[in-house]
Structure 1
Amino acid sequence: MHKLLFGTAGIPLSCDGNTSDGVKHVRVLGLDAMELEFVHSVNISEKTAPLVKKAADDNSVVLTCHAPYYINLNAQDSAKMKASIQRLITAARVAWSCSAWGVAFHPGFYMKKSKEETYKIIKENIRTVVETLKQEGNDIWIRPEITGKRSQFGDFEEIVRLSQELEHVLPCIDYGHMHAREGKFNRTEEFRLVLEKIEKTLGKESLDNMHIQIAGIEYTEAGERRHINLEDSDLNFLDLIESWKDFNIKGVVISESPNIEGDALMLKRLYKNVE
């Protein structure tokens, strides 16, 4: 990626049309990216995927994808495990046919297993997904996401470790989730440590290939409760933006706030104005 791009999680609220219309509207708004929202189902057909791809290509909009929420790569039931693997593969296939660059997903839950046992199971299931897609010539980035609840697998260290140990896997850094999960990751030095860790562990080129999600998060001791707009949250997004500028990161920032395009445009403007 040649610079840091900003976009919306799904079709902008100000667009009444379909996915292709949403992609075009992103460019009208002055944004650069859009996340395909497969969170409840993969809602783009083989027939419409080429139309989405054309809209993205014609308008120079980078697409990402969020796979279904109904994925648990640590499921106790083998049928649920296989279904979870298949949901991720299906999302990646359809997203790739739309020209999407990466697919973010919540890897699973601990399910009363130890963190290390859960890690090993999820790692092998992601490996299966990567190898299946590779055999098909599908080069989409697999992006396990930092999750917002402590019962969910996916703290910062776990996601970076997966990315270090698996081919064609890099983190989806969700700053709101990181903050809500631990009550930390909200100071300048913490933002810098995140990027320093990524650079040291995954290589400087990973800072040119960042997949970021951001929203304000209302949270409890257990972690994430719901998404809120950035200005209504306690997330220190001004210092966060400065850390992006300091490290000259490149990639995609997806706004997942309720006011998706409003926060995306605000972030893009603030980033541009940082000295």
Structure 2
Amino acid sequence: MGLTAYEYSFGHGVRLREDTARKLGEEFRKYGILPSCHAPYYINFGAPEPEKQENSLRHLRETAIRCDYMDGRRVVFHPGVAGKDRAAAVERIKLGIKAALSELDQLGLGHIILCPETMGKLSQIGDLDETLSFCRLDERLIPCVDFGHLYARSLGTDQGDEATARIIQEMIDAIGLERTRIMHVHFSNIEYTKAGEKRHHNYGVTEYGPDFGPLARQIVKWNLTPTIICESAGRMAEDAALFQEIYRRTKEESL
């Protein structure tokens, strides 16, 4: 299918053995596939409890170790939930991220890039501004911009050429063009309620957005080279190939 990136999910825990991870890395290299890893969904650096902070660090650490075994360089993670005091949760998340970077340095994993993800539910920390504020903490932080999540948490307004151009410009203003150029991207159509994200759908089969075309046009305009992971409900590879074709057509039309 010509796909060149794969995100290995540790969503429900890190239980992959070292030898298996290294074998996966060999296969990724054999087929020219760039691996990344998604850390467990249990991470919540926004929590005030020390035990939850320690568990979050452990989940991120164990994911980074397996990612390195695979010869991957990016670890995507959900920052945390807002709780009763959103501003306080954001500050705790910043401290947690700094602690995670320090721990990775001590383990000889300073080359691993952490990718805080924009989130789809309003109760979660991870609107675009919050995510970019985390990425300003260190050059080794690159945003995982989930355009479906931004669409869902905005209740359908963050879509189309104008909104997508604004998102990219906000990123450039916050973290610079070079890091924006190599951003990590999740993309899928997402159904939402007044609370934000409800469920993922396959691309183009429901009334829910967003459309991939506006992002493809921004990629061409700015000469971006993001890693794009499709998160469609049941046909991730097929929709990823479709995104790739939309991008190719967009690039050809711009010449």
TM-score range, shorter chain: over 0.9
The structure 1 residue matched to 2:176, chosen from 187, 191, 203, is: 203
Contact 1:218 1:224 in 2 (8 A): yes
Q: Once the 2 structures are TM-superposed, how far is the Cα of residue 272 of structure 1 from its aligned partner?
A: 0.5
**2:219 aligned partner:** 244
**1:256 aligned partner:** 231
Contact 2:47 2:89 in 1 (8 A): no
Q: Can you list the C-alpha shifts for 1:148-181, whole angstroms capped at 9, x where unaligned? A: 0000011000001111123411110000000101
Alignment size in residue pairs? 246
Q: Once the 2 structures are TM-superposed, how far is the Cα of residue 208 of structure 1 from its aligned partner?
A: 2.8
**1:228 aligned partner:** 201
SS of 1:48 mapped into structure 2: helix
Q: What is the alpha-carbon distance in structure 2 between the residues aligned to residue 141 and residue 185 of structure 1?
A: 27
SS of 1:173 mapped into structure 2: strand
CA RMSD of aligned residues (A): 1.2
Q: What is the alpha-carbon distance in structure 1 between the residues aligned to residue 212 and residue 162 of structure 2?
A: 13
The structure-2 alpha-carbon separation of the partners of 1:208 and 1:174, relative to structure 1 and needing over 3 Å to count, comes to same
Q: Once the 2 structures are TM-superposed, how far is the Cα of residue 253 of structure 1 from its aligned partner?
A: 0.3
Q: Once the 2 structures are TM-superposed, how far is the Cα of residue 207 of structure 1 from its aligned partner?
A: 2.8
SS of 2:36 mapped into structure 1: strand
- Given residue 70 of structure 2, which amino acid in structure 1 is its aligned partner? C
SS of 1:205 mapped into structure 2: helix
Q: Once the 2 structures are TM-superposed, how far is the Cα of residue 239 of structure 1 from its aligned partner?
A: 2.0
**2:89 aligned partner:** 118
2:188 is the counterpart of 1:215: yes
Matches within 5 A, 1:185-200: 185-200=158-173
Q: Can you list the C-alpha shifts for 1:79-128, whole angstroms capped at 9, x where unaligned? A: 12211111111111111211112111111101111x32111110000100
Contact 2:47 2:92 in 1 (8 A): no
SS of 1:64 mapped into structure 2: strand
SS of 2:19 mapped into structure 1: coil
Structure 1: 4+ residue segments shifted above 6 A: none
Contact 1:130 1:167 in 2 (8 A): no
Contact 1:143 1:170 in 2 (8 A): yes
TM-score (norm 1): 0.86
- Given residue 242 of structure 1, which amino acid in structure 2 is its aligned partner? R
Q: Once the 2 structures are TM-superposed, how far is the Cα of residue 31 of structure 1 from its aligned partner?
A: 0.5
Q: Once the 2 structures are TM-superposed, how far is the Cα of residue 251 of structure 1 from its aligned partner?
A: 2.4
Matches within 5 A, 1:157-168: 157-168=129-140
SS of 1:60 mapped into structure 2: coil
Q: What is the alpha-carbon distance in structure 2 between the residues aligned to residue 239 and residue 107 of structure 1?
A: 27
Contact 2:148 2:209 in 1 (8 A): no
Matches within 5 A, 1:77-116: 77-113=49-85, 115-116=86-87
Q: What is the alpha-carbon distance in structure 1 between the residues aligned to residue 77 and residue 137 of structure 2?
A: 18
SS of 1:165 mapped into structure 2: coil
Q: What is the alpha-carbon distance in structure 1 between the residues aligned to residue 173 and residue 25 of structure 2?
A: 35
Contact 2:38 2:77 in 1 (8 A): yes
Q: What is the alpha-carbon distance in structure 1 between the residues aligned to residue 121 and residue 180 of structure 2?
A: 26
**2:246 aligned partner:** 270
TM-score (norm 2): 0.93
**1:10 aligned partner:** none
Q: Once the 2 structures are TM-superposed, how far is the Cα of residue 44 of structure 1 from its aligned partner?
A: 2.0
- Given residue 102 of structure 1, which amino acid in structure 2 is its aligned partner? R
Q: What is the alpha-carbon distance in structure 2 between the residues aligned to residue 131 and residue 122 of structure 1?
A: 14
Q: Once the 2 structures are TM-superposed, how far is the Cα of residue 187 of structure 1 from its aligned partner?
A: 2.1
Q: Which runs of 5+ in 1 are unaligned?
A: 1-28
Q: Which is bigger in relative contact order (C-alpha 8 A, separation at least 6)?
A: 1
